[in-house]
Amino acid sequence: MYIFGLGNPGLEYRETRHNVGFLFLDYINSRYLKVPEKHESEYVWFQGKVKGKHLTFIKPQTYMNLSGRVVWSLKKEKVRPEEIIVVYDDAALPLGKIRIRPGGSSGGHNGIESIINAFNGENGFARIRIGIGGAQGEHEPLRDYVLDTFSPDEKALLPDIFELSWKALVTMVTEGTEKAMSRFNGLTVEHP
């Protein structure tokens, strides 16, 4: 099973809302797996065993809009859409909420669209959408909002959001996406 965390490479993007997929994978590795990352030309990856399941965690380094390029290299290993879970930001969900889906359209997210295109239009890969919305100003362009950094208050919530997302991911891997959806889609991490 492959777990993709989406984001943009480079220091200028490191702490931005759009990089919540990268930040989530970093959280998993530092909190639970504690393994070295390996670097390929188009992605950074690490592996770990979770409840007896071997997982490969991937952070594409091709920029968000070209996330699917990594899928092209994995397809040589006969990776199918149902063998990947993609974790990414969703500005339509408030911060503190996550949403699990078994597949579907890109919803306008360019990283997801790129992965769907890499699978020749097949969109049957599971997703964990991590909400980053809720604070977007009415007149602030979406592109500026997602490429801005988290406020101190928002940043303080991230460990709890990532812990909830981790529990959801473990459930997806061990019990299936449907169980994870019913268990986690209604939950919200609240401000203390």
**Parts of the chain with a pLDDT under 70:** 134-139, 192
Asked whether residue 189 is assigned to any structural domain, the reply reads no
With respect to residue 190, please indicate whether it lies within any of the assigned structural domains.
no
**What pLDDT digit, counting tens, does each position of 51-92 carry?**
999 999 999 999 999 999 998 888 777 889 999 999 999 998
CATH at 37:
3.40.50.1470
Angstrom distance (rounded) from CA 99 to CA 129: 5
The residue behind tokens 């690490």 is 46
39 is catalytic: no
pLDDT score for 137: 56
- Is residue 102 a part of any domain in this protein? yes
* Any domain includes 18: yes
* Domain assignment present for 27: yes
Torsion of CA 70, 74, 79, 82, to 10 degrees: -20
β-sheet with 2-5: strand ranges across: 38-39, 43-50, 53-60, 2-5, 84-94, 126-133, 98-101
pLDDT at 84: 96
**Is 172 domain-assigned?**
yes
**Domain around 174:** 2-184
Residue in 96, 90, 78 with CA at minimum distance from that of residue 104: 90
Is the residue at 74 inside a domain? yes
Q: Which of 93, 190, 184, 106 is nearest to 146 (CA)?
A: 93
Number of separate domains in the chain: 1
Report the pLDDT value the prediction gives residue 75, as an integer from 0 to 100: 76
pTM of the model: 0.94
